[in-house]
Structure 1
Amino acid sequence: MRSVSLLGAAALLIAAPQAAAATAPATATARAVTGAAVYAHYDGGYRIDRHHPPSGWKALARLKDSVQFAVSPDGRKVAYVAGSALRVRADGKVRTVARGVPGDVPCLTPAWSPDSRRVAYADGTRVRVVGADGRGARVVGRTGGPCHLAWSPDGRYLAGYAGTTRGVHRLDLRTGKSVKVKGVGLANHVQSLSPGGRYVVVNALRPDDPGGDGSWPVWFTPTVVDTVTGRRVPIPVRGGRVIGAFYLADGRLVARLQGRTANRWAVLDAKGRVSQWLTEPASARERSLLQVL
């Protein structure tokens, strides 16, 4: 699978107190992360598989003709665009939920709602939401950032990057208004939004970095940006290059670190402290991480 862009090799190394704001408040009874996740691998087509310790791998979809896809937060459904139609695959069955969807722009990937019941997708700058059963389709607003949409865990915001890579935009689903995120000049991937939508995880580009073709990156150096102030917030982990980051529904941040034989996860609490370490299966090392379950 091709990477959109790989930035500098250095990991983000910083003391924990300086990065406490990178996570939203987490509950005191936060459950341990199990390591369950969904990954994608390109092998003449995209293979999307769920890994759940200790049971192992389970195939979710084999997409020969689609590069626009997303996995639901519950890890059971795959939404993808093929033949100008948005389709949902669940329990081995495929349902067409929308037609006339742009299928020739790799970066226009759909996004799942936090409850895994609805799918957002872009038609140019217009964003629509439809139920996983094909019902309730509606326009929720327009955005300058329709690429690699990410839906905040509280359900209020969608964020994506501009097709030109010139910035990231956040769409408020309550008001239908979109604003350009401060502090992001160039970017070609949005991986995650925090609960409340204040912090966004992006692949920030330098002026001389390639923009890429809009497909999902295998890995990238994540940048956490405060959408209110534009401040870049360091990720306080040591032990390897950080190659991805996901916000959990309770506000914790999972940082993915590159390893020689297997990648690892560091789970950060609300104060920026590592509360848990997990190791991915070695067979996931060269795969894109699509969803932390």
Structure 2
Amino acid sequence: MKHRALAAGAALTALAVATATAAALAGPAQAVPARSASAQAVPVQAVPAQGTPAQAAPAPLTGRGVYLGYGGGVRLATESGRTLWTDRSGFGQFSVSPDGGKVAWIDGKGRLHVSAAATGSGKAADKVVARGAAAGGPCLTPAWSADSRRIAFPLAGGSDRLTVAVVGADGRGLGKVGATLGVCHLTWSADGRTLAGYAGSTEGVHLLDTASRTSRRVPGIRLANHVAGLSPDGRRVVVHAMGPDAEAGDGSWPAEFAPSVYDTRTGKKVALPVRGRLIGALYLRDGRLAVRVAGRTANTLVVLSPSGKRLQTLPEQPRNRRLGLLQVR
């Protein structure tokens, strides 16, 4: 079947870097403070909860966001067109912090970097915050916590089921939170409890509980090749669900996708009360869902409450019509 091609590539990559990973985790990396062996597992309380959604009415979206474009590499830019970060390595393993100011990315040697976007006349800053990450597969992207302070990322290994580590954006507090088959396009719930990703074979979406360190498959999703977000409590997930004959792609961030929302406990698909051709959706940390709708000259964001009520309709800049949307505030 066509969707199995991605799994083979991910497995070869994992085997190629497994030895390097073991060495990297055994000794202290220069950018990560040395720790005792007993500190390798992250205590539950070290993965901070981000709190429940605020009861007060959230502020409307401003339309500020981060967009993705391809062409000779990867370019991330603001809604106004200002470049935040570029990458010509071809690995494509990156994600943008929810505050829009930082990019976590993995290089070909399995080093996890944090790059702060340049502001004003200043220069962009880059720091290696961890080593031993799974490298070489575009879908093996890191995930940011809702407060933009911590990063989860898959460690290299010799199987499809990989261990996920968490580290602070400053390189402190490195530890493990469990193993899962869902290591592609990781996303983190705002309460800090759940990580979600799709399997490298595209056969299903899996949740990793950072407290119990256990993983389970989401019912109802047979095939998927993108996970775009989790509700704050991890109860709902946004994915690109696939048919059995669909092309899996190479796991790169999509510029657009037809979003589906599923209940992660029951597997029931949640209907989105939005008309038009849907090309994306993102959960905000307060539980709102921003749904992207294609337009002839400019796309539109429709913001829904957790119960599905329409709260806001916001036009995007025409210059961003063919770009992917990674973050919006």
Q: TM-score over 0.5 for the alignment?
A: yes
The 3 A distance-change label for structure 1 pair 77 and 286 is same
Q: State the 1:275 CA deviation.
A: 1.4
Give the whole-Å Cα distance in 1 for the aligned partners of 2:94 and 2:61. 24
Q: Which residue of 2 aligns with 1:282?
A: 318
CA RMSD after TM alignment? 1.4
Q: Which residue of 1 aligns with 2:164?
A: 127
Q: Does the 8 Å contact 1:39/1:49 carry over to 2?
A: yes
Q: State the 1:169 CA deviation.
A: 0.3
Q: Which residue of 2 aligns with 1:190?
A: 227
Q: Which residue of 2 aligns with 1:8?
A: none
Q: Which residue of 2 aligns with 1:79?
A: 104
The answer on 1:59 being equivalent to 2:95 is no
Aligned-partner residue type, residue 77 of structure 2: D
Deviations 1:145-196 (A, max 9, x none): 0000001111111000000000000001111111100110000000000010
Aligned-partner residue type, residue 69 of structure 1: F
How many residue pairs get aligned? The number is 265
The answer on 1:105 being equivalent to 2:137 is yes
Aligned-partner residue type, residue 168 of structure 1: V
Q: State the 1:58 CA deviation.
A: 2.7
Q: State the 1:25 CA deviation.
A: 7.3
Which shifted more, 268-277 or 137-146? 268-277
Q: Which residue of 2 aligns with 1:273?
A: 309
1:92-171 to 2 correspondence within 5 Å?
92-123=124-155, 124=157, 125-171=162-208
Aligned-partner residue type, residue 165 of structure 1: T
Q: State the 1:83 CA deviation.
A: 2.9
Larger Rg: 2
Q: Percent identity?
A: 53
Q: State the 1:223 CA deviation.
A: 0.6
Q: Does the 8 Å contact 2:106/2:113 carry over to 1?
A: yes
Q: Give the TM-score taking structure 1 as reference length.
A: 0.87
Q: Which residue of 2 aligns with 1:5?
A: none
1:89 to 115, 128, 134: 115
Give the whole-Å Cα distance in 2 for the aligned partners of 1:241 and 1:189. 18
* Matched position secondary structure for 1:57: coil
Give the whole-Å Cα distance in 1 for the aligned partners of 2:76 and 2:233. 29
The 3 A distance-change label for structure 1 pair 25 and 61 is closer
Aligned-partner residue type, residue 80 of structure 1: W
The 3 A distance-change label for structure 1 pair 135 and 209 is same
Give the whole-Å Cα distance in 1 for the aligned partners of 2:257 and 2:226. 9
Which shifted more, 160-169 or 114-123? 114-123
Deviations 1:180-232 (A, max 9, x none): 00110000000000010000000000111111110011111101000111100
Q: Which residue of 2 aligns with 1:263?
A: 299
Give the whole-Å Cα distance in 1 for the aligned partners of 2:306 and 2:56. 10
Give the whole-Å Cα distance in 1 for the aligned partners of 2:132 and 2:175. 14
Q: State the 1:292 CA deviation.
A: 1.6
Q: Does the 8 Å contact 2:108/2:136 carry over to 1?
A: no
Q: State the 1:265 CA deviation.
A: 0.3
Structure 2 unaligned residues grouped into runs of 5+: 1-51, 118-123
Aligned-partner residue type, residue 64 of structure 1: R
Deviations 1:74-118 (A, max 9, x none): 100000111321111014100011123222111100000111111
The answer on 1:48 being equivalent to 2:76 is yes
Q: Does the 8 Å contact 2:53/2:285 carry over to 1?
A: no
Give the whole-Å Cα distance in 2 for the aligned partners of 1:288 and 1:222. 13
Deviations 1:257-285 (A, max 9, x none): 01111110001123312111111111111
Give the whole-Å Cα distance in 1 for the aligned partners of 2:226 and 2:270. 17
Between Structure 1 and Structure 2, the one with more helix by share is 2
Q: Does the 8 Å contact 1:141/1:176 carry over to 2?
A: yes
Give the whole-Å Cα distance in 2 for the aligned partners of 1:243 and 1:223. 10
Aligned-partner residue type, residue 83 of structure 2: A
Q: Give the TM-score taking structure 2 as reference length.
A: 0.78
Q: Which residue of 2 aligns with 1:69?
A: 94
Q: Does the 8 Å contact 1:26/1:252 carry over to 2?
A: no
Between Structure 1 and Structure 2, the one with more strand by share is 1
* Matched position secondary structure for 2:83: strand
Q: Which residue of 1 aligns with 2:43?
A: none
Structure 1 unaligned residues grouped into runs of 5+: 1-23
